[in-house]
């Protein structure tokens, strides 16, 4: 637990991750693109932690979130989705005796990876529509239309999965 709160260690991890982006020949813009959606949330969490737990804990929390996002983005940018899903399915085979279906775990992860960019795009569409109608800046009011879009998308996705008989596979 001490290492997870060590600001110097976390900053070093972020630095090492940036070096991995360079080694993978990913442009620096990719780093900022990975962080952009998280910075607002990370800033809010930092401010909350600052009030509740103090500067060291707030800094460690923010750096931990940034490190996790950068590492996750690096993996998704440098690894084919099919390879990730095959690895995840193999790793989850040990959970089968507990009633957990490894292909379903892989499907859930694959869908999550696939739909996060779509959700970000939908969020931008809702925000742009608000701005067109005279709204300014970020608003929690965008959550309503976004939730409706998400519910419609998940309903259609559930129907598509059921139509392909994934639930009945053994």
Q: What stretch of H or E contains 24?
A: none
Question: Does the pLDDT at position 162 exceed 80?
Answer: no
Q: What's the Cα-to-Cα distance from 64 to each of 4, 30, 45, 61, 85, rounded to whole Å? A: 7, 19, 11, 5, 25
Encoded tokens for 149: 């879009």
- DSSP 3-state of 124: helix
pLDDT one-digit tens code per residue, 99-151: 888 888 777 777 777 777 777 778 778 888 888 887 776 666 777 788 888 88
Domain-wise residue ranges, the chain: 2-78, 82-168
**Dihedral sign of CA atoms 45, 50, 54, 58 in order:** positive
pLDDT one-digit tens code per residue, 33-68: 777 778 888 888 899 999 998 898 999 999 998 888
- DSSP 3-state of 165: coil
pTM higher than 0.85: no
The end-to-end CA distance of the chain, in Å, is 40
């Amino acid at each position: 637990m001490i290492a997870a709160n060590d600001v110097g260690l976390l900053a070093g991890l972020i630095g090492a991750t940036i070096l991995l982006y360079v080694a993978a020949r990913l442009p620096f813009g990719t780093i900022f693109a990975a962080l952009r959606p998280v910075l607002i949330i990370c800033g809010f969490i930092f401010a909350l932690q600052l009030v509740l737990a103090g500067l060291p804990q707030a800094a460690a929390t923010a750096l931990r979130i940034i490190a996790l996002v950068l590492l996750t983005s690096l993996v998704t940018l440098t690894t084919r989705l099919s390879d990730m899903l095959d690895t995840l399915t193999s790793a989850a085979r040990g959970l089968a005796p507990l009633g957990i279906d490894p292909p379903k775990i892989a499907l859930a992860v694959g869908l999550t990876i696939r739909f996060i960019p779509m959700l970000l795009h939908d969020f931008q569409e809702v925000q742009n529509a608000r701005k067109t109608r005279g709204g300014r800046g970020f608003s929690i009011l965008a959550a309503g239309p976004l939730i409706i879009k998400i519910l419609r998308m998940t309903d259609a996705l559930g129907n598509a999965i059921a139509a392909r008989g994934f639930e009945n596979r053994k």
